[in-house]
Amino acid sequence: MEKSMLIKLVICLILGVGGLHLLRLPQTTQSWIVPSARESLSVSQPETRNGYRLPLLNHHNEQYSAQVSIGTPPQIFKIGLDTGSSNMWATSSKCPTNTCRLHQQYNSSLSNSYSKNGSRFEISYGAEGDGISGFMSQDTIGVGAFSIANQSFAEATQEIGHGPAHWEMDGILGLGFSAAAVDLVTPPFYNMIGQGLTKPIFALYFSSIFVEGDESEVIFGGTNPHHYTGQLATLPLRDKPTWETTLTSIAFGSWTIQLVDIGAAIDTGASMLVLPTTLALLMYVIYASTRRPR
């Protein structure tokens, strides 16, 4: 089983659900858009006592990306970190579409560490089936100060559906299990562990308001105690190759709904909370009944 590898997922989320706190994090509904000055954050973040830290760019409170490099010398990209998938891809310079021209494009001819693969690749995301297609390549990936040698990833040459036209990032780095990877490609996080990452842990913190010292971030190989109090809880995963645990209850206002055998996928590539239709309708009815008429 994948879980025997003791790969731990620590996710610090701010959820706008009244009365519900995960890991004692504060709630906020204030919107924040990353100023353009923040786009120039350096990709070369030093190794810290608690792992390798990268700041995350907040795109309209809907998408978050980290600056990741590919190749030698490094080509810099805004890459989304997605626990709901397991593959990595980046927009290719060989992509002829207008959508691709809106993004930073990886050019293999400029990299001294590039290795050709060429096998066909395709991946889709979510119920709408939006995604990309292209071909596989291999190169050095820079995640902060950590370099992943000989990482296989896809060069995207064609978008699938309408979703990619609205994506702020230039690619995606999947943080899911290897068993869920398309074509069983080894995910970058697995190679980080194999190439010397101190601890098999990654931590994500999403903030919706910029306060100096409290920006969104990802840490590979550790956690940031600044973002939580007490001890982190360990949640057992369900028997699927995904970051899915059991949701036991939902609380909002003075109401608590106890649940039985409901799985909850922790998907950092999504910007919403999704519930079964029956449960969502029940919550709406309860919420509507507590609203005072104006």
Q: Alpha-carbon distance 288 to 282, whole Å?
A: 10
Instruction: Given the residues 170, 214, 239, 267, select the one marked as catalytic.
Output: 267
Judge whether 82 counts as a catalytic residue.
yes
Taking the C-alpha atoms of residue 125 and residue 109, their distance in angstroms, rounded to an integer, is 29
Closest CA to 69 of 97, 49, 85, 45: 45
Contact 109, 100 (CB under 8 A): no
Q: Quick check: is 139 catalytic?
A: no
Alpha helices by DSSP H, listed for the chain, are 98-101, 188-194, 277-290
- The residue annotated as part of the active site, out of 82, 130, 183, 239, is 82
DSSP, collapsed to helix, strand or coil, labels residue 2 as helix
Tokens of 253: 């206002």
- Return the SS3 of 150: strand
Catalytic residues: 82, 267
